[in-house]
Structure 1
């Protein structure tokens, strides 16, 4: 009913009449599934659902979710269904802070955020003809444990939340430094850098926004140490340029 992984069927459609007639069951649908009711409760005659649909702008254009109408409606329906299932007396979720990634025949990648990382998974069967597995930093090969075959690749970069957490940490260092000594300021800066590099590893060099943030925060730290301690040029060289 779903079709081949390389060429999945459209909703309620088959690739040909022979496949459709080869089995007595043509359709399976759960009658309590609320996804079918989304467009009834939220009609979209002017295609406004595409407007305001969140996307992962940290990836290049060809790696983002393609805002095709069926996928957008399905993404909003999934969010709507989950939101309606949550007791509002306990919690709720907002669309502005949510991203629903749809994997379909029009969207070959699966995008999500996890623990400060942005992940883009591209299955092998959805790669273009001639494309090969990449062997570089921030790209992980996903393998089938039974056959040991590489089935997909996961591309990594640091999420906006991870970058903001680093900026907030450095801002706390700047605000709490006051008239402290040069060594304490540098130790806090070095500790923040080591923690960043240890946790995010190779994803750092593939996140341009973080590299820009490192340059800005380093300049702030150098300005602070010059202002508070009157640091000489020789001491300035003691601040490592880890990125």
Structure 2
């Protein structure tokens, strides 16, 4: 018998559905603010913790931080070490994603 956690991580159709729903939620937020301009809503707006002014969403579809947003990370030297340590990776800088919270049994 397959458990729910394994089904989420290993089923491509379910992952596609989660990505589609995530995009619908983000689109609804953009419409509520009356702007769908992509430059006003980088992934950091949705994935930043609430304490830092974001919406604290876990992402399924957007794994890597765009290169255009990484230029701002070089300007921060103190103050956000906890958030940066959770999103950094050896090869690339990653956004907090659902895969890190769904552990197989």
Instruction: Tell me the TM-score range normalised by the shorter chain.
Output: 0.3 to 0.5
Q: TM-score, structure 1 length as denominator?
A: 0.17
Higher relative contact order (CA closer than 8 Å, sequence separation 6+): 2
Q: TM-score, structure 2 length as denominator?
A: 0.36
More helix per residue:
2
* Structure with max Cα Rg: 1
